[in-house]
Amino acid sequence: MTITNKTILITGANRGIGRSLVEEALKRGAKQVYAGTRQPWTHPDGRVTRLAMDVTNGMQIRDAVGQVEFLDILINNAGAYSLHGDDFSDRSLLERHIATNLFGPYDVTQAFLPLLIRSRGAIVNVLSLASLAGLPLTPACRLPRPTRSRKQPRSLSRNRSAPSLRDEESGFMPSFPDPSILT
Ligand SMILES: NC(=O)c1ccc[n+]([C@@H]2O[C@H](COP(=O)([O-])OP(=O)(O)OC[C@H]3O[C@@H](n4cnc5c(N)ncnc54)[C@H](OP(=O)(O)O)[C@@H]3O)[C@@H](O)[C@H]2O)c1
């Protein structure tokens, strides 16, 4: 799929990879870029429309859907990542990670699915390598992201993972997704 003349929604668009994706979409001739952000944010390019969207906030997601008439590409980029130092015995921290990294893209995708089906569009999930192979760096890396199954175009399915196998020497814990999701 080419970007030229397409309408694109990027979550977590105000900084980091999301911000770069906004710039790249504009550079490649996107017709319109919807930038989902939690905080007020502006962009000098008239093709960018900011949408107030915390991906854990169902009401904001619904409001955002109401502002978008047409959508070719949804990029689920917003995410939270904690490395060392986070206490995952704190249940509320774990819940925040799951809400942002799992249910966030799930809910946003479900909400925009009718528009994407209408346009025969595409969903792009910005993932970590850790979603393909669990790394023992942080418990957050073991949280799966939802992905769309090609066999279930109207619903979402999680990466189908094999049971985790720890390589005792490296501590590497691979879990393998269904390869069909990569095509
Ligand atoms: N950078 C890496 O090396 C790396 C590696 C693997 C995967 N990733 C993935 O790539 C994506 C972008 O990473 P990044 O490095 O650009 O991260 P980042 O610089 O920390 O930016 C994260 C973005 O997500 C937004 N965000 C966080 N929680 C949100 C929520 N509940 N609702 C809406 N927006 C939310 C942030 O908004 P605020 O400004 O409001 O906080 C920010 O715009 C993430 O999904 C991350 O897991 C990154």
Indicate if ligand 1 lies below 6 Å from the C-beta of 102.
Answer: no
Nearest CA to ligand 1 atom 4: 128
> Which residue shows structure tokens 């105000």?
14
pLDDT band at residue 1 under the 50/70/90 scheme? confident
Asked whether residue 2 is assigned to any structural domain, the reply reads no
| 12 CA distance to ligand 1 middle (Å) | 6
Indicate if ligand 1 lies below 6 Å from the C-beta of 14.
Answer: yes
**CA nearest to 177, candidates 143, 133, 136:** 133
180 vs 39 pLDDT, higher one: 39
Asked whether residue 1 is assigned to any structural domain, the reply reads no
Determine the structural domain holding residue 70 and report its residue range. 7-181
| 78 CA distance to ligand 1 middle (Å) | 5
Indicate if ligand 1 lies below 6 Å from the C-beta of 81.
Answer: yes
Tell me what percent of the residues of the chain surpass a pLDDT of 70: 69
CATH of the domain at 127: 3.40.50.720
Asked whether residue 121 is assigned to any structural domain, the reply reads yes
b/e map 15-30, b = 16+ CB within 10 Å:
eeebbebbeebbeeeb
| 174 CA distance to ligand 1 middle (Å) | 24
Residues 105 and 98: beta-carbon distance below 8 Å: no
Residues 34 and 21: beta-carbon distance below 8 Å: no
Q: Indicate the number of domains in the chain.
A: 1
pLDDT at position 129, please? 78
Asked whether residue 141 is assigned to any structural domain, the reply reads yes
For residue 177, pLDDT over 50 is answered with no
Question: d(Cα 123, Cα 133) in Å, to the nearest integer?
Answer: 21
pLDDT at position 155, please? 42
* Cα–Cα distance list, 160 to 144, 147, 148 (Å): 10, 10, 11
| Tokens (6 digits) for 161 | 């993972």
| 168 CA distance to ligand 1 middle (Å) | 31
pLDDT at position 138, please? 59
pLDDT digits (tens, 9 = 90+) for 92-103: 888 888 999 999
pLDDT digits (tens, 9 = 90+) for 138-169: 555 555 554 444 554 454 333 333 333 343 44
162 vs 18 pLDDT, higher one: 18
